[in-house]
């Protein structure tokens, strides 16, 4: 129920535009590494100093105009230049819809080509994040086309999909991030039960560790992480064949512990003004993250309280609308 509400809020364009104007609020600053390139480079340097590499995401949602996609492309190109210039240990994560996938496939492809080409010159990897099911096939096609020209590309497989193993087999020669999946999908195509999603995550990750090129095990779930640590030990899987990944600001102690144990560790570092949808999806995954919001609300900022109240108000409306739809 709460998950549905936050997913609903993440898709609310009005709140998204409002949030952009007000900077990082509602606790988002604890999970978003700044709003501009100097701030994100500073965060990356701090993580690198602790033995952690980074994947940088220039946040952006609801891109329906070519100018917005072109602007996002320019910003990502600047991030690539900054990674190179500052010699930080980081690569790029991007969402094809931010580069125009909902506008025109060829336009998106050409934006991605420019990004991948520039990154390739500096030996920087580019990951295509996986969005909801409606974008899955097109994202695979973009990857298929660009991988004919470049090797520095890879993507994400979401274990909630019934066909996750099939996708993984097709892309076993790529660097692949395995996640559980963050979007609301229907039971025809995806497991909805957490136990099934977790079981499939373990099954496909084990398969990819044994058969794939490079596996990014992306989860905050300590039970799965412990299982994977045992698995790689038992099967003598070398450290350079996999890494653990978590999101910026989450389970910081566990991130540091894994890095200090000698595992490759990569933190997903989102930044930018367009933090709202990302933040709402994190609340959908784990309503306990609301603690982050609560801490900020009681930290004096009146405008934050107004923001939360507006959110709560709209939340009621969306929830009612959803109920009606379901009937
Ligand atoms: C690096 C990275 C990249 C991602 N990229 C994508 C993508 O491209 N596409 C996509 O759809 N999704 C992506 N996701 C999101 C992912 O699909 C999941 O929605 C998200 O990671 C939540 O699942 P989980 O496995 O981390 O833990 P959950 O299934 O949410 O939690 C499992 C258990 O872990 C523990 N736990 C989890 N979080 C915490 C915490 N903060 N503190 C303490 N304990 C905790 C709790 O015991 C919890 O019960 C990404 C996630 C990561 C980490």
Residues 181 and 194 in one domain: yes
Q: Do 242 and 232 form a contact (C-beta atoms < 8 A)?
A: yes
Same domain, 259 and 294: no
Backbone angles phi, psi at 243, to 5 degrees: -150, 165
Residues 6+ apart with CB under 8 A from 131: 95, 96, 97, 139, 183
Is 177 among the catalytic positions?
Answer: yes
288, 151: one domain: no
Q: Which of 57, 129, 198, 274 is catalytic?
A: 129
157 and 14 in a single domain? The answer is no
Report pTM: 0.88
Do 40 and 12 share a structural domain?
A: no
Clarify whether residues 270 and 288 are in a common domain.
no
Based on the fold, state whether residues 128 and 10 are members of the same structural domain.
no
What span, in angstroms and rounded, lies between the C-alpha atoms of 5 and 239? Answer: 40
Nearest CA, atom 49, ligand 1: 221
- The single residue of 177, 198, 274, 281 carrying the catalytic annotation is 177
6 CB near ligand 1 (under 6 Å)? no
Expressed as residue numbers, the domain containing 299 is 1-27+283-327
Same structural domain, 112 and 178:
yes
What is the model's pLDDT at position 283?
A: 76
Q: For residue 181, which atom of ligand 1 is closest to its CA?
A: 17
Residues 176 and 227 in one domain: yes
Query: Block means of pLDDT (10 residues each) for the chain, length 327 residues?
Result: 70 68 66 92 98 96 90 97 98 97 98 98 98 97 98 98 98 97 94 97 98 97 98 98 95 97 97 81 72 50 43 47 37
pLDDT at position 324: 37
How far is residue 157's CA from residue 168's CA, in Å, rounded to a whole number?
Answer: 7
Q: Are residues 13 and 69 in the same domain?
A: no
Task: Report the domain count for the chain.
Answer: 2
The verdict on the CB of residue 53 being under 6 Å from ligand 1 is: no
CA of 186 to the centre of ligand 1 (A): 19
Question: Is residue 218 within 6 Å of ligand 1 at its C-beta?
Answer: yes
Claim to verify: residue 109 and residue 12 sit in the same structural domain? no
> Does the active-site annotation cover 282?
no
Give the domain CATH number at 122: 3.20.20.220
Same domain? For 245 and 194 the reply is yes
């Amino acid at each position: 129920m709460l998950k549905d509400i936050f997913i609903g809020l993440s898709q609310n364009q009005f709140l998204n535009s409002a949030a952009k104007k007000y900077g990082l609020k509602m606790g988002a600053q604890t999970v978003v590494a700044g709003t501009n390139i100097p701030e994100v480079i500073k965060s990356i340097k701090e993580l690198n100093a602790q033995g952690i590499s980074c994947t940088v995401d220039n946040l952006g949602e609801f891109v329906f105009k070519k100018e917005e996609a072109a602007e996002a492309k320019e910003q990502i190109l600047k991030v690539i230049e900054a990674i190179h210039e500052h010699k930080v240990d980081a690569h790029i994560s991007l969402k094809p819809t931010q580069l125009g996938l909902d506008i025109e496939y060829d336009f998106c492809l050409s934006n991605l080509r420019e990004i991948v080409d520039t990154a390739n010159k500096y030996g920087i990897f580019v990951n295509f994040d996986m969005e909801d099911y409606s974008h899955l096939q097109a994202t695979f096609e973009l990857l298929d086309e660009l991988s004919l020209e470049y090797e520095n590309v890879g993507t994400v497989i979401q274990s909630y999909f019934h066909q996750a193993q099939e996708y993984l087999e097709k892309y076993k020669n790529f660097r692949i991030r395995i996640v559980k999946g963050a979007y609301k999908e229907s039971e025809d195509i995806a497991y909805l039960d957490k136990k099934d999603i977790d079981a499939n995550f373990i099954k496909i990750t084990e398969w990819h560790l044994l058969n794939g090129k490079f596996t990014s095990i992306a989860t905050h779930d300590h039970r799965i992480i412990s299982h994977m640590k045992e698995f790689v030990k038992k099967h003598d899987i070398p450290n350079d064949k996999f890494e653990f990944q978590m999101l910026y600001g989450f389970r910081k102690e566990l991130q540091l512990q894994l890095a200090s144990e000698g595992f490759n560790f990569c933190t997903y570092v989102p930044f930018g003004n367009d933090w709202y949808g990302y933040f709402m999806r994190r609340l959908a995954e784990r309503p306990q993250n609301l603690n982050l919001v609560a801490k900020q609300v009681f930290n004096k900022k009146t405008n934050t309280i107004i923001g939360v109240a507006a959110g709560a108000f709209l939340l009621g409306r969306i929830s009612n609308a959803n109920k009606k739809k379901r009937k």
